[in-house]
Chain A
Amino acid sequence: MVAGLREFTARVERNGVDEPVLDAENGEELMHVQPCVSIVLGNRPPESPGTLYISTKKVVWLSDVDRAKGYAVDFLSISLHAVSRDPEAYTSPCIYTQIETEDDEHESDGSDSECNGVLDLSKITEMRLVPSDPNQLDSLFEVFCECAELNPEPIEEEEEEHNWIFSADQLEDDATGEDSEWHVSENPSIGQSNGDHDLARTVLELQINDQRFEDAEEMEHENDGGRH
């Protein structure tokens, strides 16, 4: 679910200037544009000049000179952001961000992200945005805060498909069409005796309902595991 940093080159020209293509259908809006911002990914050298776009969903940086160059990261993947002004930490005052990646267990110090000279953006865990005017940092920080708050964790939806039985017709199809776990034993047992078909069906439904609960239990375990 965590996307991390990615390449982003979808631009549209509006009033003579480029803007990133946003997901307007899902309500994404541009909140802030900051020209003259260079971007630093991990321990790599800064890239500039570029323009920073902050939307209600993500942060986009587009190069001013190379139309094929740009990056984006969703607010959902930004673990923290901060104003960094100490020259010991970084030579220029900047917005410092940490990016949650798929594989957070193996902390990247910036070197893992580059393999054979090819940059793997999805492993970048730190991004700095350096505006040419440091006085913009506080207002940028506030925009970041505002937009981050617009992006709470999505409520986890059930991903597994349940083959729940909703009607007697479905039950009949399932019972005849598949090699089910249960079978009608030769010795009549409860619910399957004396040709009382309705009663048998009721009991079968009950059994299938039991299976449903087993599924739910498994899912809970999986969710627990996924959190760590």
Chain B
Amino acid sequence: MLFFSYFKELVGREVTVELKNDLAIRGTLHSVDQYLNIKLENTRVVDQEKYPHMLSVRNCFIRGSVVRYVQLPPEGVDVELLHDATRREARGG
């Protein structure tokens, strides 16, 4: 549940979601659920030449299982908080 809790903190921020099929979509994180399904708003495709048809997409639901990476805004990363959270997770707490 670590990532779920963590991603929830990032709601409203800009993230880039990279899918396993290499498509990368940048947008405002609207919501995330326990399966790490991700809803983005005001999205744009990072590689627009490769995926021109995705230009227009305003809101987008991405299935958690197809996400490869989520690129976070640097200012959204609280290293201390993450340290604590990962330690707790490692202890199974």
A152 to B19, CA, bound (A): 17
- Which of A79, A86, A88, A90 interacts with B63 by CB under 8 Å? A79
B20 at the binding interface (Cβ < 8 Å): yes
Chain A interface residue number, banded:
20 to 34
Interface residues of A in 156-202 (CB under 8 A from B): none
Interface residues of A in 92-122 (CB under 8 A from B): 96, 98, 100, 104, 107
A153 near B61 with CB under 8 A, answer no
In the assembled complex, which residues on chain B have CB atoms less than 8 Å from the CB atom of A83? 57-59
In the assembled complex, which residues on chain A have CB atoms less than 8 Å from the CB atom of B62? 79-80
- Which of B35, B52, B63 interacts with A80 by CB under 8 Å? B63
Interface residues of B in 1-48 (CB under 8 A from A): 19-23, 25, 33, 35, 37, 39, 43
B56 near A88 with CB under 8 A, answer yes
B55 near A86 with CB under 8 A, answer yes
How many chain B residues have a CB neighbour from A under 8 Å?
Answer: 26
Contacts A80-B61, A104-B20, A149-B33 known; A86 to B66 CB distance under 8 Å?
Answer: no
In the assembled complex, which residues on chain A have CB atoms less than 8 Å from the CB atom of B55? 86, 88-89
In the assembled complex, which residues on chain A have CB atoms less than 8 Å from the CB atom of B54? 82, 89, 96
A189 to B43, CA, bound (A): 70
A82 to B27, CA, bound (A): 13
Among B53, B58, B63, chain A packs the most CB atoms within 10 A around the CB of: B63
A90 near B35 with CB under 8 A, answer no
With both beta carbons as reference points, the residue of chain A lying nearest to B43 in the complex is identified as: A82
A141 at the binding interface (Cβ < 8 Å): yes
9 sample A-B contacts, Cβ–Cβ < 8 Å, listed by A number: A79-B21, A84-B53, A84-B57, A86-B57, A89-B53, A96-B57, A107-B21, A148-B63, A149-B33
